[in-house]
Amino acid sequence: MDRLDSLSLNLEKNNIDKIKELFPEAVEEGKINFDMLRAMLGDEVDDSKEKYQFTWNGKAKSIKLAQTPSSATLRPCKEKSKNWDATENMYIEGDNLEVLKQLQKTYYGKIKMIYIDPPYNTGNDFVYHDDFRNSIENYKEQTNQISSSNPESNGRFHTDWLNMMYPRLMLAKNLLSDDGVIVISIDDDEEKNIRNICDEVLGEYNFVSCIVWQKIHSIKNDAKYFSENHEYALIYAKSIDCININLLPRTEEMNSRYRNIDNDPRGAWQSGDLVASGERSNGHFVIKSPKTGKCFDVPQGKHWVYSQDNLIKLVDDNQIWFGEDGNSFPRKKRFLCDVQDGRKPSTLWLSEEVGHNQTATRELKSLFDDKKYFDFPKPVLYIEQLIKILSREDSVILDFFSGSATTAHAVMKLNAEDGGNRKFIMVQLPELCEEKTEAFKAGYKNICEIGEERIRRAGEQIKAEWEKEHPSDGLFGSDEEFTTDIGFKVFKLDSTNVNEWDSNMKLDEKELAMRLCEVFKKDRSKEDILYEIMLKYGVFDKQVEEINMNGKTMYRVGKRYMLVCLDDQITSDDVKAIGELSPKTVIFNEAGFMDDNSKINAVYNLEKFGVEDVKCI
């Protein structure tokens, strides 16, 4: 019976496998033969000493950090969750570098949209300090600190920020689906550097757009030079050829520009230019008004945008407007019926359309009895519009700098509005609230507690607003039911539940031997172990059902996908009962078997039932 793999996805091996698939000749005994690879790539390899490159002190280490597998786990926290048994949403408390590693096996290539609002490196924001040697211990030290800053006087001001962002974006890229996109909110301080990182990690050819958001509605007259009223949202695709940008709904003001002056049976229209600047061969010719016979040609330095044959056809089809009197310079009719599906999103987002900083602050305060618990949140409508443009109705949305959890709020709100089934995954470091803040005084110990409470309250607010619009009582009451998922499962990053997998245990020989006799740590529950199995097996997104068979507690994961039995004294009757459920995979606690023969027989009998994979932990 094989052992369950204790580590997160091995990305180095994954990369070698990809190279092997493309260039099998360049891989020898699991290693890359760079001389052969260079030979196969020919003149495209740049071996010159002087070449364009984006580098800094620590870059190689940050790449290695991203690719180093982790034995950490995510422990379920039911008491902080909402609608645990039914929800498909997640909130994860932990360092996002470690969490992104843990999500690789389950969500590799599955995330449609990632939105992040990382620290802007202004000198006051929290900056993550990664430790290559001991990530979990380092994480626990970080979460016991009040805050950390990165002052500009620090000689590594940009370097520290780059080392924080680069490995996280490497891991994030792996999670994106082929048609997936990542959106990064950023200001001027690091906009250039984040573009450079994304160009390198995602490919500059996968750049989609840069949205400029008017974050402040009014002018700041106390600004040193210019009033900085904007931020950016950079959008990159996993593969530019695969993405689809959804249209936004048209506004009434846009539609009001269309009229039907001549009662055209095709409906309302507005006119547009038929002329473009510049000379072009065959771009000059005369067209005649059907009503008056008046002839028109373009002036010198201009040309018609249609060929002569096509323009004559448009005239015959009454798609060219010569004015009510028939003597005006011709213009092309553009019909409302041709554009009613929606409008292309613009790169300039004004505050009156999607809100601004004060809008976001008011939204958050309205959920928390007019108390300000969080600085600089984003407006819900702003994030909602990004999701509307860049995702599908069944997409998974990931935000690994969750902050005040605006993204979760926006996902639930949009689902309630359009009936979608988008799921969210929020990840946030439980950074401590400073004692002087209103949040600390109100009993919130860290940012995660604020974010989780925001999701609870926002969900109930969304439900109440929906029910107000869909009353169920009275003669004309609605038969609809509120089906939006406003729950979420909370998980906490921690060291592995399995003693022999924990490389961070600092014990003498005697203590270590005693611990290794006990497979699982004493303070861990069966559900802790269950979810670690799911995480390491890559089925963390499956629903779980607890069942009782022969007096033993077992867990069915994803209906018939996997069955987990962690009880002791496993008998042949237990094995038979498991086999009759026809799971694809079965996981046992190895210590639950009486001897090796029992394990061998279990594998043999389960294979007869059609079980494809049997492992132990």
Share above pLDDT 70 across residues of the chain, in percent, rounded to a whole number: 90
Non-local CB neighbours of 92 within 8 Å, separated by 6+ positions:
74, 99, 425, 426, 427, 428, 490, 491, 492, 493
Q: 540: which 2 tokens?
A: 């963390």
Q: Where are the beta strands (DSSP E) in 295-338?
A: 295-296, 302-304, 320-321, 331-335
Whole-angstrom Cα Rg for the chain: 30
pLDDT at 464: 95
Whether the per-residue pLDDT at 51 is higher than 90: the answer is: no
Instruction: For residue 483, report the phi and psi dihedrals to the nearest 5 degrees.
Output: -115, 0
Burial of 473 (0-12, 13-18, 19+ CB in 10 A): exposed
Element (H, E) at 386: helix 380-390
Burial-class residue 474 by CB neighbours within 10 Å (0-12, 13-18, 19+): exposed
In a 3-state reduction of DSSP, which class is residue 354? helix
- Reduced to 3 states, what is the DSSP secondary structure of residue 321? strand
User: What integer pLDDT is reported at residue 510 of this predicted model?
Assistant: 54
Percent share of the chain, pLDDT over 90? 69
Pick the more confident residue, 292 or 252. Answer: 292
Q: Is the pLDDT of residue 148 over 90?
A: no
Cα–Cα distance between 553 and 547 in angstroms, integer? Answer: 6
Angle at 422 between CA 419 and CA 425, to 5 degrees: 150
- 158 exposure class (CB count in 10 Å sphere: 0-12, 13-18, 19+): middle
> What is the pairing mode between strands 320-321 and 331-335?
antiparallel
Which pLDDT tens digit goes with each residue over 272-328? 999 999 988 889 999 999 999 999 999 999 999 999 999 999 999 999 999 999 999
pLDDT, tens only, 371-381: 999 888 999 99
Q: Which helix (H) or strand (E) holds 277?
A: strand 275-277
The values of phi and psi at residue 370, to 5°, are: 65, 25
- pLDDT of residue 67 exceeding 80: yes
At residue 133, does pLDDT exceed 80? no
Least confident of 293-297, 373-377, 494-498, 524-528: 373-377
Q: With 80 as the cut, is the pLDDT of residue 584 above it?
A: yes
Report the C-alpha gap between 162 and 169 in whole angstroms. 10
> Looking at this protein, which amino acid is placed at residue 538?
G
Rounded Cα distance, 153 and 329, in Å: 64
User: Which one has a higher pLDDT value, 504 or 353?
Assistant: 353
Q: What pLDDT, in 10s, does the model give residues 203-241? A: 999 999 999 999 998 888 888 888 889 999 999 999 999
Q: Is residue 504's pLDDT more than 70?
A: no
Poorest-confidence range of 110-119, 154-163, 547-556? 154-163
pLDDT tens for each residue of 86-100: 999 999 999 999 999
53-57, 540-544, 568-572: segment of lowest average pLDDT: 53-57
pLDDT of res. 126: 47
Q: Residue 317: which residues within 8 A CB-CB, separation 6 or more? A: none
Neighbours of 55 (CB within 10 A): 10
Dihedral of alpha carbons 534, 536, 538, 541, sign:
positive
* DSSP code for 80: G
Alpha helices per DSSP H over 10-81: 11-22, 34-41, 59-67
Q: 498 has which bridge partners?
A: 520
Q: How far apart are CA 390 and CA 246, in angstroms?
A: 6
User: At residue 160, what is the residue type?
Assistant: D
Q: CA 307 to CA 312: how far, in whole Å?
A: 9
Residue that wins the pLDDT comparison between 51 and 277: 277
The span from the CA of 386 to the CA of 395, in Å, is 13
pLDDT-wise least confident of 8-17, 249-258, 298-307:
8-17
The pLDDT score that the predictor gives to residue 219 is 87
Mean pLDDT of 10-27: 84
Q: What is the pLDDT of residue 292?
A: 96
Distance CA 162, CA 576 (A): 55
Q: Which pLDDT belongs to residue 54?
A: 86
Burial bucket for residue 189 (CB in 10 Å: 0-12, 13-18, 19+) = middle
Cβ proximity of 499 and 521 under 8 Å? yes
DSSP state at residue 210? E
The pLDDT, as a whole number, for residue 457 is: 98
HEC assignment per residue over 83-105: CCCCCCCEEEECCHHHHHHHHHH
d(CA 450, CA 439): 8
Tell me: pLDDT of 251 over 50: yes
State the pLDDT at residue 26. 82
